[in-house]
């Protein structure tokens, strides 16, 4: 896409998480996206509209900009040793994140941490409240698919590693 700048691109994927990731990427490239399902596959089609302007995106953070803190949650409990204690610590940790105020920008759930965003999670109400407070919640689509939990996610945006790494780059 960077080299040839096609007016139309079609990507065939075989799962919902990939469909969402490819669609979001195409939209970030200013393509109009449509999806067609054929059997078990999704055909994600991106089309350029109007005048095409090629430019590099340079992201700079002014010194006066509000701090952006990203927190990554890679497990459904904190620490190792006693699982019950680890679960209690995670609940306390997530509830206490509100104390960061406006500086808390994104909360990213990966690996076993995605289990905190699904039906039945003890901390789901806490995460949903953070979402309502304007914290951008990102949930790893590959992880949800791996654990077969994609349809159980109740909060946040299903995302990919590119979005996660970009968030890390933009965060303070």
pLDDT (tens place) for every residue of the chain, 172 residues total: 777 888 899 999 888 878 888 888 888 788 899 999 888 889 999 998 764 444 444 444 445 567 899 999 999 999 989 999 999 999 999 999 988 988 999 999 999 999 999 999 999 999 999 999 999 999 999 999 999 999 999 999 999 998 899 889 888 8
* Residue found under tokens 């790494």: 165
Strands (E) in the chain, as ranges, are: 8-13, 31-38, 41-48, 69-73, 104-109, 136-140, 157-159
Note down the domain range covering 130. Answer: 69-170
Shared domain for 37 and 98, answered yes or no, is no
Domain containing 88 — which CATH number? 3.40.1260.10
Q: Copy the structure tokens of residue 119.
A: 């039906």
How far apart, in whole angstroms, are the C-alpha atoms of residue 19 and residue 43? 8
How far apart, in whole angstroms, are the C-alpha atoms of residue 109 and residue 113? 5
The structure's pTM equals 0.67
Does residue 90 fall inside a structural domain? yes
Does residue 1 fall inside a structural domain? no
Shared domain for 88 and 135, answered yes or no, is yes
Does residue 32 fall inside a structural domain? yes
Does residue 157 fall inside a structural domain? yes
For residue 116, the 8-state DSSP code is: G
């Amino acid at each position: 896409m960077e080299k040839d700048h096609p007016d139309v691109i079609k990507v065939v994927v075989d799962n919902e998480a990939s469909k969402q990731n490819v669609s979001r990427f195409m939209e970030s490239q200013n393509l109009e996206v449509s999806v067609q399902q054929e059997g078990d596959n999704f055909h994600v089609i991106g089309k350029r509209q109007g005048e095409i302007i090629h430019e590099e995106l340079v992201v700079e953070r002014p010194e006066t900009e509000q701090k952006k803190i990203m927190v990554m949650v890679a497990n459904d409990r904190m620490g190792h040793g006693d699982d019950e204690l680890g679960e209690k610590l995670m609940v306390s940790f997530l509830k206490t994140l509100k104390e960061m105020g406006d500086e808390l920008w994104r909360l990213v759930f990966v690996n076993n941490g995605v289990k905190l965003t699904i039906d039945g999670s003890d901390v789901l109400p806490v995460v949903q409240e953070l979402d309502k407070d304007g914290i951008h919640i990102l949930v790893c689509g590959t992880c949800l698919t791996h654990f077969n939990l994609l349809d159980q996610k109740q909060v946040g945006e299903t995302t990919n590693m590119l979005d996660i790494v970009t968030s890390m780059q933009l965060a303070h």
